[in-house]
């Protein structure tokens, strides 16, 4: 299983993920790149800024899609091939003006 798929499965379980956790859990030392690939595939992943003392780091989490709206069905093995705009896709499904 690719790192992107493993990370997506982990985020889909409702957990958040930091770079240190990604290294420990998946051997992924470029979490920001994998997150960017997932975002390009249409997944809504947000970054929360965590401050502990003098240290600041990011924690990523997946924002689940509301009931009745289909998540992206792009094969994440070809993540780098095209960019999907989840906002325009979501607005189109809700019949809202862009």
* Collapsed DSSP state (helix, strand, coil) of residue 61: strand
What mean pLDDT is reported for the chain?
A: 80
Q: Please give the DSSP secondary-structure letter assigned to residue 19.
A: H
* Fold classification of 3-93 (topology level): Arc Repressor Mutant, subunit A (1.10.10)
Q: What is the DSSP string of 27-60?
A: --S-HHHHHHHHHHTT--EEEEEEEETTEEEEEE
d(CA 74, CA 82): 10
d(CA 44, CA 56): 22
Instruction: Please give the model's pTM, rounded to 2 decimal places.
Output: 0.66
Structure confidence by residue, pLDDT tens digits, 42-74: 899 999 999 999 999 999 999 986 555 566 666
> Percent of the chain scored above 90 by pLDDT?
61
């Amino acid at each position: 299983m690719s790192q992107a798929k493993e990370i997506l499965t982990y985020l889909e379980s409702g957990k958040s993920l930091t770079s240190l956790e990604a290294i420990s859990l998946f051997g992924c030392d470029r979490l920001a790149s994998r997150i960017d690939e997932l975002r390009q595939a249409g997944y809504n992943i947000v970054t929360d800024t965590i401050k502990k003392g003098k240290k600041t780091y990011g924690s990523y989490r997946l924002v689940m899609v509301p009931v009745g709206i289909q998540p992206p069905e792009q094969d994440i093995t070809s993540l780098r091939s095209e960019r999907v705009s989840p906002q325009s896709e979501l607005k189109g499904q809700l019949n809202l003006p862009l």
